[in-house]
Chains A and B, each alone.
Chain A
Amino acid sequence: MTTKHEVRKNQYFDSVTLMVASSAMRQMDGVINAAVMMGTDHNRDLMRNAGLIGPDTPTFGVNDTVIGVQAETDQAAQDAIAYFDTFINGKKASAQAQTQVRATSLPTAKSQCPQTNFAVISVPGRYARAEAEKALGLGLHVLLFSDNVSLQDEVELKEMALEKGLLMMGPDCGTTIINGTALGFANVVRRGNIGLVAAAGTGLQEVTVLIDQLGGGVSQALGTGGRDLKAEVGGKMMSLCLEALRNDPETQVIVILSKPPAKEVMARMLEQLSTMDKPVIAAFLGGDPSLVEGTNVVWAGDLEQAAKLAVLAAQGQPTTLPPQDTAHTETYVTQLCATLKPKQTHLRGLYSGGTLCYEAMLILQEEGIDAWSNIALDARWKLPDGQPSRDNTLLDMGEDFFTNGMPHPMIDFRQRVERMEREAADPDVAVLLLDCVGGYGTHADPAGELAPAIRRAKEIAAQDGRDLVILASVTATETDPQVRSHQIQILEQAGAVVASCNAQAARLAAGIIRRQRQE
């Protein structure tokens, strides 16, 4: 075995680019382990612990690219490093084809393209505030994808934005649709008269996709970042976004998606909404309908309901939903349980979308099923990071513990795929619950990444003489680059059961678990 390391001075690449390259290098013949990272202290530790750098590695700093390869032979290691260069040069060449001189800062970019009116920022959290502040200073609206930004910085950025009348979406805002353009992780949905504001990224994806499915359309879909409705931030951006939608002539119906806001924030928001002359549908996930009792706000219990109610309102119809078709669900449950053994009474959910995971847990709870989770509804059910699943477990694999040094699970499926195999090996497990999120910014073929793992999970169960129900839903539209029907087909061919949406998948899962418990 041999280890080779190289330092490329003053070469900066974003971490996603490097992780994609590293991942490809690891898959090369004869390569045992490989990583290419920027030379931060954190990465230094990671690479040192992995044995990819050693005392003889040249010194490096944060602007240097560090390459470490462990391989069976010198040649294999050299090939891996050569691959990296080819990979990067390919990127560079395509970048050069687009523009002659690449702007290295926001002000330069703005001066090169004066029509620029929007900044998407996804730099590491500690630099995010400065970049966002610069963008606001240049009069740009901001989508701040970065997380790990302090609450104080968030408050100050939003105050700055309010003063200037600019959108400051985030930090930790993954999804938005402006003028029909998907930014961050977002889907291609029909344009229409429903305007949305969300403090929940995948929630916004799911609802916009469902609206599209139901024949409705979206005017604007705005994100605020998950902490906007906390008392500290005070719903600053929510309030601005609601005003923006109030003033937007294209928007006829307003949808709000969030966890229940802090009490005083809720009071202010309801006051603001009380003068709204457009129907307002709100899904305060995990909250109580009494929150909006006596107001003009229509309560939605989950994301699916929010989409259905919004489309009804958009068509000028009364905002009441028929009850769930439980008979149909029960028939399907009977079918799915037929091949399960009585011992199989547990459920494991592996999610790339946080809000989808949360929604599923709420539905399970309604049905009397408590689940362990890293984002548990109740602290008693909190599964400590790094621990194996127990009983019923639902994991949001986009949380910090999983994304530390790794790309988001909507881009990189390695961790989810590994975990699927582990859950499949547990003889008590009846159901694997998955999301499959498409749209721009996400993986080009998420179902294609999940399909082999679905087959392997089924095989693992079969070898143990069991069956395993794998339930999934696809958050994508027909017009998304991944194409909804195509994704569904891939999942189904691999042996998964694909529900019409995440809420339906969760209901079906709950039905199976309840049935299995009874037997």
Chain B
Amino acid sequence: MNMQHIQKLFASQLAVANVGVDVFCQAVQDQKVPAVQVDWRPPAGGDVELAQILAKLQTLPGNPIEEANREGFSRMDASDPEWTGMVYAHEVLPDMDKYTIGHAGPPLAWEDMCGPMQGAVLGAIRYEGLAQTDEEALQLIQEGRIRFRPNHNVQCVGPMTGMITWSMPLFRVVNKTFGNVAYCTINEGLGKVMRFGANDETVIARLKWLEQTLAPALNRAVELHGPFNLKVIMAKALSMGDEMHQRNIAASSLFARTLMPSLVRVIDDPQVLGEVTDFITGNDQFFLNLAMAACKSICDTVKNIPYCTLVTAMSRNGTNFGIKISALGDQWFQAPVLMPEGLFFPGYGPEDANPDMGDSAITETYGIGGFTMGASPAVVRFVGAESVQAAMDYTSSMYQITQGANRQLTIPTMDFRGAPMGIDVRKVVDTGITPVINTGMAHKQPGVGQVGAGIVRAPMDCFTQALKAFAQSLTLT
């Protein structure tokens, strides 16, 4: 018999972890022996089968999961996303034609789309000139001429409805360390916008302006300036009170400040320069889309690592919430989206809100947004968190489900602790703590726009399914 561990125990200081009745922990502490109380709760809503799977995964010989997760984490850590220019979807996306529409979240059929998503799709078809009216657009859909696909499958992300079509300009973000590229659309601003399902002529006109005026100007500016290091802007903005999902005012300002000298040199027409600078400086959320592309370029590097249980995508299509985990590549694990809880703009209430939607949860996948709420006292009121302390508590709890702390993005209000990074599906299921997401809320009727902002959780079911499938892939079940 191997007696060396027991002999070592008898010869060393006892140090206890107590799982369960807390008087036992107190009793050990009263004897001046170190003891930690594990804040245990039944794993995965009390599912014993999952609890057993978790235990098995932890006792695999050689612990390959831990090693794989460390690898995934180190890739996120080493990632260095840069904005290098503007491109049009048809120039860069695979298998693209005018009838292909990228949308947020996991795949879904027209019939299953929520109101805002359908509204956005009709608008997108008109934007591409395939139809003049919504009725004509609808007919194209019903004839099966329109092909829908998740942005995530083609290195893209888009906020809320996340429409990406043939003519749309995209931020091109290159992860310099690994060479992979990610794309995101330009943020349209607030009010009636396609990402919230609006599709009237002003929406289409703005999209055309983004395509024909803003994108070329931005492209010339970045050519003149050189690539923008996005992690640097994100790190600074975090220290200036952004959490970078619902609050991007610091990041957008830093971005504008960096961009402006180049922008004024590349736009000759004062009228255009006025419009462009008005647009960029008039939108506090302008940077969100760049942050999303940056996060996508980071999370994609973690894909397909054998044994790795880190989450590489979290996204919502307004109907379902989907996640992907590293070891299982592009397989989606889905559950119905939840309703955000938060604050509403005057005149709107919970009955107006559409359920959770958008690819923007890629920010939380990387570990900002809801995960860095503690850095952002100012966002607390906007998303309806109870207090600054509550925001910090949200962030603190995310360390329980992540692989580690971000070395580049630190949180000044929490003693410069690194942001929680690398969601481990095992830890989510084990602790019962689901990722917290800060989000905007769309009106459930297409075309109305944003009605508020709030906090929502990723549904546990996505994680339990992913964990079961992962265990199955290792033939543990």
Chain B stretch 17-62: residues in CB contact (< 8 A) with chain A: 17-25, 27-31, 33-34, 36-43, 45-46, 48, 51-52, 54-56, 58-59
Instruction: Determine whether the beta carbon of A103 is less than 8 Å from that of B59.
Output: no
Contact B16 A120 (CB under 8 A): yes
**A residues in contact with B9, CB < 8 Å:** 117-118, 141, 167, 178-179
Encoded as 1 (CB less than 8 Å from any B CB) or 0, chain A from 378 to 408 comes to 0000000000000000000000000000000
A-B contact pairs, 18 of them (CB 8 A): A16-B23, A17-B22, A98-B29, A100-B396, A101-B400, A105-B400, A115-B15, A119-B16, A123-B20, A130-B48, A130-B51, A137-B55, A146-B20, A178-B14, A179-B13, A244-B6, A440-B28, A441-B27
Interface residue? A33 (CB, 8 A): no
Whether B13 pairs with A141 at a CB distance below 8 angstroms is no
B7 touches A243 (CB 8 A): no
CB of B229 within 8 Å of the partner chain? no
Q: Is B475 an interface residue (CB 8 A)?
A: no
Q: Is the CB of B16 within 8 A of A244?
A: no
Cα A86 to Cα B139 with chains together (Å): 62
**Which residues of chain A have C-beta atoms less than 8 A from B19's C-beta?**
106, 119-123, 131, 135
Q: Which residues of A contact B40 (CB under 8 A)?
A: 12, 14, 104-105, 123, 131
Residue of chain A at shortest CB distance from B27: A440
Q: How far is the CA of A244 from the CA of B11 in the complex (A)?
A: 12
Q: Give the complex CA separation of A208 and B52 in angstroms.
A: 36
Instruction: Report B-chain residues with C-beta under 8 Å of the C-beta of A23.
Output: none
For residue B426, which residue of chain A has the nearest CB?
Answer: A107
Task: Fill in one digit per residue for A236-262: 1 if any B CB lies within 8 Å of its CB, else 0.
Answer: 000110011001101000000000000
1/0 per residue B103-135: CB within 8 Å of A? 000000000000000000000000000000000
Q: Which of A15-65 contact B (CB under 8 A)?
A: 15-17, 40, 61-63
Chain A residues with CB below 8 A from B16, complex form? 116, 118-120, 183
Asked whether, in the complex, the Cβ of A440 is within 8 Å of the Cβ of B30, the reply is: yes
Complex Cα gap A62–B56 (Å) = 23
User: Would you list which residues of chain A between 418 and 465 have a CB under 8 Å from chain B?
Assistant: 440-441
Given A109-B36, A244-B3: A117 touches B14 (CB 8 Å cut-off): yes
Those of B349-404 within 8 Å (CB) of chain A: 396, 399-400
Q: Are B39 and A145 in contact, CB atoms less than 8 angstroms apart?
A: no
With a cutoff of 8 Å between Cβ atoms, the chain A residues found around residue B3 in the complex are 165, 243-244, 247
Tell me the nearest residue of chain A to B2, going by C-beta.
Answer: A165
* Smallest beta-carbon distance A404→chain B, Å: 16
Check if B48 sits within 8 Å of A181, measured CB to CB: no
| Range, interface on chain A | 35 or more
Asked whether any CB of chain B lies closer than 8 Å to the CB of A268, the reply is no
Indicate if the CB atoms of B10 and A179 lie closer than 8 Å: yes
A113 touches B34 (CB 8 A): yes
Q: Which of chain A's residues have a CB closer than 8 A to the CB of B7?
A: 244, 247-248
Task: Give the contacting residue for B5; candidates A16, A108, A116, A166; CB below 8 A.
Answer: A166
- Judging by beta carbons under 8 Å apart, are A141 and B55 in contact? no
Q: Is the CB of A124 within 8 A of B42?
A: yes
In the bound complex, do residue A127 and residue B43 qualify as a contact, i.e. CB atoms below 8 Å apart?
yes
Given the complex of chains A and B, what is the CA–CA distance between A121 and B30 in angstroms?
18
Are A101 and B396 within 8 A (Cβ)? yes
Query: Which of B12, B25, B28, B430 is the one whose CB lies under 8 Å from A105?
Result: B430
User: How far is B40's CA from A120's CA once the two chains are assembled, in angstroms?
Assistant: 12
Distance, CA A138 to CA B38, complexed state (A): 14
Question: B256 in the interface, Cβ–Cβ < 8 Å?
Answer: no
When the two chains form their complex, are residues A181 and B43 in contact, meaning their CB atoms are under 8 A apart?
no
Please state if A121 and B20 are interface contacts (CB–CB under 8 Å). yes
Shortest Cβ distance from B411 into chain A, in angstroms? Answer: 13
CB of A411 within 8 Å of the partner chain = yes
Inter-chain CA distance A440–B390, complex, in Å, is: 36
> Please, how many angstroms separate the alpha-carbon atoms of A16 and B1 in the complex?
38
A130→B83 CA distance, assembly (Å): 46
CB-nearest residue of chain B relative to A136?
A: B59
What's the Cα separation between A329 and B325 when bound, in Å? Answer: 73
Report which of B5, B34, B39 forms a contact with A104, defined as CB distance below 8 A.
Answer: B39
A165 to B5, CA, bound (A): 6
Q: A317 on the interface (CB 8 Å rule)? A: no
Task: Verify A104–B433 contact, CB threshold 8 A.
Answer: yes
B41–A134 touching, CB < 8 Å: no
**Are A220 and B10 also in contact (CB < 8 A) when A115-B34, A127-B42, A165-B4 are?**
yes
With both beta carbons as reference points, the residue of chain A lying nearest to B51 in the complex is identified as: A130
| A165→B55 contact, CB < 8 A | no
**Closest CB of chain B to A91's CB: distance in Å?**
8
Which residues in chain A, 292-324, are within 8 Å of chain B measured between CB atoms? none
Residue ID in chain B nearest A62 by CB atoms: B46
- The answer to whether B6 touches A165, judged by C-beta atoms less than 8 angstroms apart, is yes
A14 and B21 contact, CB distance less than 8 A: yes
Asked if A99 lies at the interface with its beta carbon under 8 angstroms from chain B, I say: yes
B5 touches A141 (CB 8 A): yes
Among B3, B29, B34, B55, residue most surrounded by chain A Cβ atoms (within 10 Å): B55
Shortest distance from the beta carbon of A119 to any chain B beta carbon, whole Å = 5
B34 & A133 in contact (Cβ 8 Å cutoff):
no
Q: Say yes or no: A183 contacts B28, CB within 8 Å.
A: yes
Inter-subunit contact A63/B45 (CB<8 Å): yes
- Asked whether, in the complex, the Cβ of B55 is within 8 Å of the Cβ of A134, the reply is yes
Q: Which chain B positions have C-beta within 8 A of A109?
A: 17, 36, 38
